[in-house]
Amino acid sequence: MHCRTRSLTRDRLRAAVAVAAGLGLAVSLAACGKAAQVGERVGAVGTHRAALRIGLLLPENEIVRFERFDKPLIQKRVKELCPRCTVNYASAQHDPAAQRYQIEAMITNGVDVLILDAVDTKAVRHSVIQARRANVPVVAYDRLAQGPISGYVSFDGAEVGRLQGKALLKALGPHAEDRRIVMMNGSSTDPNAGWFERGARSVLRGKVKIAKSYETVGWRPENANRNMTAAIAALGPHGIDGVLAANDGLAAGAITAMKTARIRPLPPVTGQDAEAAGIQRILSGEQYMTVYKPFKPEAYTAAEMAVALGQGKSLNGITTRRVDNETVRGIPTVLLRPVAVTVHNIKSTVFKDRLYRVDQICTEKYADDCRRAGLIGPGGS
């Protein structure tokens, strides 16, 4: 199959997408072997003030980061770059079918560009193809979706896993090779989960015994809780020396299971996302570390990509590298570096970046922990 210029107008393409969606017709991808191309760059992002309609599709709103950080930061940056632009938001609530419908509805309703954090990166491929046929560029956000993606921004997932693995080995001490750990990985439908796991295993291999390893459906804490309960039953309450949990939600589920089993002291547990509850668990000693991914540069980069693509510009001045997915090669990409956070550097990371105010973390329950960590003074300020 050969790439060719499409003669249909954008409106006719959108109409075709709507009909195809209604009839459930399969759309085949023109396998050109290259990332979706955009027009030549004609100036700095934001110099063009045309009103764009940007669709923002996030996978859920249960994880704190999406509603509190990603969504408002993207909206803020879009407005800074293009005051007349609008952001249409939808949350898929973990449902791949719902997200596909949301994408198709946004295309039909005339969005100019999409920012997509896919629930299921493979299941969304057909919808990304539909967007491409309608001349609607798609920015893959945080997870690399399949299909003809025009741009991609995320964090280096292998480094996330390496940071978790290194921290866990440090917590286990000099004889880690004799210790047994449980790996609580993310959802198998999320390519980032495999990315994190591969990074962690590259550090852990040969240096610790991985006694149990689980994929956690939907990244749900309650599923992590069930998996951890099964691990405790299999290994015994004293047979687990550490838990490599892929994010803070999974850490919470695993810690609850261990507390229910009355495991004392708790073994070191990793995390990711620097959720407020995760930071508090680190302060209280229930969780050893988390991986902080500064949301602002990721969200701002996605907004900048979307505005540039919507204005027909290239991403050459924004992206720094190119990656491939299973569909296309050479997707313009930005991969950001994550940061490990323990009790020793909370002040210089999440507080310094104003991710949280001190009073949001150092509530009455955690006041003594905050004093010990030097986050508040003897009088509580």
- The one-letter amino acid code at 356 reads Y
Q: pTM above the 0.75 mark? A: yes
CA distance 342 to 353: 15
Q: Which of 304, 283, 275, 362 is nearest to 45 (CA)?
A: 304
Q: Which helix (H) or strand (E) holds 296?
A: helix 295-310
Burial of 26 (0-12, 13-18, 19+ CB in 10 A): exposed
- The one-letter amino acid code at 286 reads E
Q: pLDDT tens digits for 286-333?
A: 999 999 999 999 999 999 999 999 999 999 999 999 999 999 999 999
CA distance 35 to 319: 13
Q: Per-residue pLDDT for 46 more than 50? A: no
Burial of 173 (0-12, 13-18, 19+ CB in 10 A): exposed
Contact 269, 255 (CB under 8 A): yes
Give me the pLDDT at residue 378, please: 78
- Percent pLDDT > 90 in the chain is 80
From residue 237, give the alpha-carbon distance in Å to each of 13, 179, 253, 260, 270.
60, 14, 16, 11, 19
Contact 228, 243 (CB under 8 A): yes
With tokens 């063009």, the residue in question is 48
Q: What is the mean pLDDT of residues 275-295?
A: 96
With tokens 């309703």, the residue in question is 109
Contact 138, 114 (CB under 8 A): yes
Q: Which of 16, 34, 22 is nearest to 327 (CA)?
A: 34
